[in-house]
Amino acid sequence: MKLTIGEKMSLIEALVQLSPESSMTTLRSWLKEGRVLVDGAMQKLSKLPLEKGQVVSLAARFHYIQGNVQILYEDAHLVVVDKPEGLLSVAAAFEKVETVHGFLKVKYRPRRVFPVHRLDQETSGVMLFALSEKGRDALKEMFVKHEIERLYTAIVEGKVFPDCGTWTSYQFEDRNYHVHNTSDSNKGKFALTHYTVKNFSNLSTWLELKLETGRKNQIRAHCQMVGHPVAGDKKYGATLARKRVYLHAHYLSFFHPINGKKMEFYSPVPESFFRMIPGLERRHDHKHA
């Protein structure tokens, strides 16, 4: 359910046009529940002014499992989730059970759940698991061929120049699980990250980042490499104390490995990110933060 705005109006007026058969009580409940998206970003203010060309849409009712993990989509071959910050994607030496993978295995038992990529424990956002061997094999091949588009939002320390560019290096992990950058191809695996500056303040820059490779801690290590560590990321050089690591996977797109249908998923950028850049408008298009 979507509506493209044709003239200036408030969000509640747009919702009336989007669903004329619904009562005002129902429309306000959608806002309260966080189901209303404006250009892909969750909005709760009924009086929010909208401009021509913006898109208002209604998200499906949230379905949560253990660990506050939100199910965005599921079928016989895959499941897409929205991972909260602070939760591991898969088991590690220090945690075997409290992971997204672990919670999904409980939900789908006795079916198998196959991880096909990862998000760092400190990173929130949209991620993908396979629910069949056929789906797993196809998705892994798509990742290898860079056929799955992943976009991230980050708040980094300092002002980033120029406004867009590409970071490349070879990355390797040491015994303490810290990822380092090198120019020596014999010491690490190639890593490539595209970035675009979306906004900035005196202390921070809002970046959108696109991964071409999927190395562990890739974005965080690249941001440290260029002297602009992700806010709150003390492991990779952040100097100011923050409540979290400000990195969020906001967009995932791919063609379904079985039926070929175009799949797009969005995770609204957390409200705390906006507070890091005073005065930043809470307006995004579906694909870009």
**Ranges of H-type helices in 109-162:** 133-144
**pLDDT tens-digit readout, 240-270:** 889 999 999 999 999 999 999 989 888 889 9
* Residue 170 scores a pLDDT above 90: yes
- Average pLDDT of the chain is 90
Q: How far apart are CA 236 and CA 216, in angstroms?
A: 13
Structural domains in the chain, sorted by start: 2-58 (3.10.290.10), 63-275 (3.30.2350.10)
- Return the bridge partners of 181, or none: 171
Max mean pLDDT range (66-70, 91-95, 98-102, 274-278): 98-102
* Residue 285 scores a pLDDT above 50: no
* Residue 288 scores a pLDDT above 60: no
Concatenated DSSP letters for 222-254?
HHHHTT-PBTT-GGGT--S--SS--EEEEEEEE
**274, 246 contact by CB (below 8 A):** no
pTM as predicted: 0.79
**101, 89 contact by CB (below 8 A):** yes
Q: How far apart are CA 265 and CA 250, in angstroms?
A: 8
Q: How far apart are CA 232 and CA 34, in angstroms?
A: 26
Residue 104 phi, psi dihedral angles, 5° rounding: -70, -35
Q: How far apart are CA 115 and CA 54, in angstroms?
A: 35
Task: Provide the token pair at 32.
Answer: 């309260």
* Residue 61 scores a pLDDT above 80: no
pLDDT at residue 283, rounded to an integer: 43
**143, 117 contact by CB (below 8 A):** yes
**pLDDT tens-digit readout, 45-56:** 999 999 999 999
| CB neighbourhood size of 204 (10 A) | 24
Report which secondary-structure segment, H or E, holds 11: helix 11-18
* Residue 44 scores a pLDDT above 50: yes
Percent of the chain residues past pLDDT 70, beyond the cut: 93
**77, 135 contact by CB (below 8 A):** yes
Asked about 184 being catalytic, the answer comes back as no
Task: Provide the token pair at 264.
Answer: 């797009």
Q: Which candidate in 82, 120, 163, 174 is catalytic?
A: 120
Residues 6+ positions from 33 with CB-CB distance below 8 Å: 61, 62
Calculate mean pLDDT across residues 115-125: 95
